[in-house]
Amino acid sequence: MEIFVFLFSFSALGILYAMNTISELQEPYVILEIGVAVLVIVFLFYFLITRGNPPKDFLFFVFAEFSFTCIIDLTSALEYDGIISGFMEFYQKTGEPYLGTSYGIMMCYWDGIAHFIMYLMMISRITDRKAYRTLGLFWAGSLCANMSVFIVGIVAGKYGSEIHPVFWLNFLFLLMPVLGAIVLFTRPKDRPLIGGYNAQHAQSLKLIWRPLDIILLVLLLAAMAFTILRGLVALDSPLEACSIYLKQYEPYLKDPVGYPRVMMLHLFFYALPLLGAFVYGLLKPGCTWMPDWTIFLAGAMIQCQWSHIGGFLHPRTTAPYRIPSDAFWLVLAANLLYAATPVLVALRVYSNPYFFLKIAPFPGQTGLPISEEKDTKYKLK
C-alpha cells in the first residue's frame, strides 16, 4: 500500500500543471474550491479502494491524504529555488506568496521529504498491523510545530496583508496533527511501563555514576538558557545581552517575515517548560511520561531548527538579517547543538528505559503471603 500511495501522490503534479496552464483556475476563490475538492476526492479514492480490507486505524487516511500534499509542498520549494518550473507560478501570486520566504521554502522541503517518508513508513506499519506509536508521536510533534509557527507567522509577519482564501486550508493541517497527538498519547505504549530487577538497579544509581545523564543535564540547562535568551530577544527585551545577541549573532530573529520571532516565542512558552521537565525526569526515577514527551519534543525541535537554520542560510534572506561572518560558525554550532539536545535525550530514554519505569514488587514486598504472590503477574525485565 505504501508503494501505491507513493506513486499516486505524484498525480498532484498533473493538477498543478493544469492549474498553472489554465488561467480560469488561478482565481483566489477557485484555488480554494479546487483545493477542497481535491482533498475530498483523494479521501474518497482511498476510502473506496480499501473497502475490501479497511485499515484498522483512521489515521491511515490522514497519512495518505497528507502524502498527496507533500508533493505539492516539495514542488513549491523546488520551483522557488529554480530547480523546476511550470507548476506553481500561479500559486506564488494568488495562492500563498509567503511560501517564497526562506522559512517557507525550508518548511516545504521538510514536509515534502521528511514528513513524506514518515507517512509512507506509518502507512506500511498500519497495513502490516504493526505499532507505529513512537514514530507517530515524532510526526505529531513535527507537524504541530510546523503549522503553528507557519500560521501565526503569516498573520503576524509582513505577509499578514496578503492572505488569500486558500490560507484557511492550513487550519486542517494544524487540526489533524493535534488530533493525531491526542489519539497517540492515549494509546497503550509500545513498551511496558513496569520493570523488575534491571529497573531497580538503574534507579538505585546516584547521578555521579550516570555520566551520560550528567552530560544530558548540562545540555538541557544550556538549551533552556538559549531558549530564554532568544525568547527575550523576540519579546524586545531591553537587556544588553539581548541587544548584543541580536546585533552580533542572530539578526535573523528580527526578519520582518515574522517566522523567526514567532518560532522563538513558541519555544519560549512551550518547549522551555518541557526542557525543564526533562531535567526533572533525569533526576527523579520512575517518570513514565518521559518516553512520549521526549520523542514528541524531539520531532518539534528538529522541524523548527531545520526551518530556522535553513532560513538564515538561504539566499532569499536579505543581507541585513543574515548571520555576521565573524559569528557564523558559532551561531551555526549553537543551533545544531540546540536541535540535537532533545533528540539525544529521546535516544537515551529509548535505548535504556529502565530508569523511567515503575518498579514491580517482588515476593514479600506487597504485604501478601508469598504463596499468594506466586499467582500475581509481574513484569520482570
Cα separation, 292 vs 157, in Å, equals 33
- Best CA proximity match to 5, nearest among 108, 127, 91, 111: 127
Confirm if 229 and 223 have CB atoms less than 8 A apart: no
- Assign 265 a pLDDT band (cuts: 50, 70, 90): very high
pTM, two decimals, is 0.87
The residue type at 192: P
What pairs with residue 195 in β-bridges?
359
Percentage above 90 pLDDT, the chain: 43
Phi and psi at 144, nearest 5°, equal: -60, -45
What pairs with residue 359 in β-bridges?
195
Residue 236: pLDDT over 60: yes
pLDDT digits (tens, 9 = 90+) for 197-210: 667 777 777 888 88
Residue 367: pLDDT over 80: no
SS3 257: coil
Cα separation, 32 vs 111, in Å, equals 20
Cα separation, 90 vs 107, in Å, equals 20
Q: Which of 68-77, 84-93, 114-123, 331-340 has the lowest mean pLDDT?
A: 84-93
pLDDT of residue 381: 37
- Assign 376 a pLDDT band (cuts: 50, 70, 90): very low
SS3 114: helix
Entry field: residues in the chain = 381
- Assign 144 a pLDDT band (cuts: 50, 70, 90): very high
Cell of 147: 503549522
Provide the 8-state DSSP code for 115.
I
Q: How many CB atoms lie within 10 A of CB 43?
A: 15
Confirm if 334 and 226 have CB atoms less than 8 A apart: yes
CA distances from 94 to 70, 78, 97, 214, 289 (A): 20, 18, 7, 52, 45
pLDDT digits (tens, 9 = 90+) for 176-186: 999 999 999 88
Cell of 122: 506509518
Confirm if 348 and 202 have CB atoms less than 8 A apart: no
pLDDT digits (tens, 9 = 90+) for 114-143: 999 999 999 989 888 888 889 999 999 999
